[in-house]
Amino acid sequence: MKLKFLFSLLFPFILFSCVKTDIIPTKDYSAPKIHLKGNNPMIVTLNTIFTDPGATATDNVDGTRNLSDKIIVTHNIPIDGPSNGSGLTNTTGSYIISYSVTDKAGNTTTNNRTIIIKNSAEKYAVQYLFSKTGGQIFPNFNNELTVIDYDQNINNRIHFTEICNQSGFIVFADIIGDTTIDIPDQGVILNQNGIDNLYRIYGIAGQSIISDSTILTLTIEYNLEKYYEASVIDYDFYFGNRYWKNMAFSVNTEYYERL
């Protein structure tokens, strides 16, 4: 009788001890953290290969293992190459790489890196006083104001915005080693008094120089040819899908001093 009574007292305890109970985990409300490798902002030279330095991710519950592999990367960087953030940069400007990751609990975080693509010749894009000698086609002048622009797509390329002090007469040139300026053969069509005239310009080898790359003083020497529109049976130069006849030639020198 006593044994039966004792068993009846112990049975609920034994039953409760044998039943498996689940512990409800604490809800994870904390978003993971993304740690950028490399610099932010990051300066990249135009027309060079950009490679994303990447990022890692950590989480208070998930840790780092496997979470970094789940980072999703998007960007608006103008590059010639694959879409994974690496390739040849082709346009100057400020751009963003965005890194995003979500932990197992569904918490998402994002971190951004700023990418600044720069033309190495940007320092030349300032205001100048400039003068010209050699006035067979355009008159000479002294100490006029002008600016030089840098090219947005080709590194070390600049644009002289008013050759011969003529509005719209824009000529490109390439900076070579902070000492030499190369002016490739090119043409510009200017409408003057309702008539189109072609001006062909090309540098004289070794004569266009940067005499001071810190203070910024430049000298450009170039051949200038003027053409009027001609027929297919009587022309000297073909440019812009049109035929042109030479009417004048001159050698010009322009001097630039940063204002």
| Amino acid type, 63 | G
| Distance from C-alpha of 108 to C-alpha of 29, rounded to nearest angstrom | 10
User: What is the average pLDDT across 95-111?
Assistant: 93
Q: Is residue 84 part of a domain?
A: yes
Q: Which of 14-28, 126-140, 171-185, 193-207 has the lowest average pLDDT?
A: 14-28
Same domain, 130 and 113: no
- At residue 28, the pLDDT reads 76
- Which of 92, 118, 144 delimits the end of a domain? 118
Task: Answer whether the bond into residue 41 is a cis peptide, omega within 30°.
Answer: yes
Same domain, 246 and 168: yes
**How many structural domains compose the chain?**
2
Q: Is residue 146 part of a domain?
A: yes
Q: Concatenate the DSSP letters of all residues of 204-236 into one string.
A: PTTT-EEEETTTTEEEEEEEEEEEEE-BTTB-S
Q: What sections of the chain are H helices per DSSP?
A: 2-18
- Residues 86-100 have pLDDT tens digits of 789 999 999 999 999
Pairing of strands 108-118, 42-45: parallel
Q: Which domain holds residue 97?
A: 29-118
- Which of 118, 143, 162 delimits the end of a domain? 118
Q: Is residue 15 part of a domain?
A: no
Q: Is residue 19 part of a domain?
A: no
- Which of 97, 118, 139 delimits the end of a domain? 118
147 and 165 in contact (C-beta within 8 Å)? no
- At residue 135, the pLDDT reads 82
Same domain, 128 and 243: yes
Closest to 252 (Cα-Cα) out of 171, 150, 197? 171
- At residue 82, the pLDDT reads 59
The C-alpha torsion from 130 through 133 and 135 to 136, rounded to 10°, is -130
Residue 60 has pLDDT above 70, yes or no: yes
What CATH number does residue 90 fall under? 2.60.40.10
Same domain, 202 and 126: yes
Same domain, 89 and 199: no
pTM: 0.83
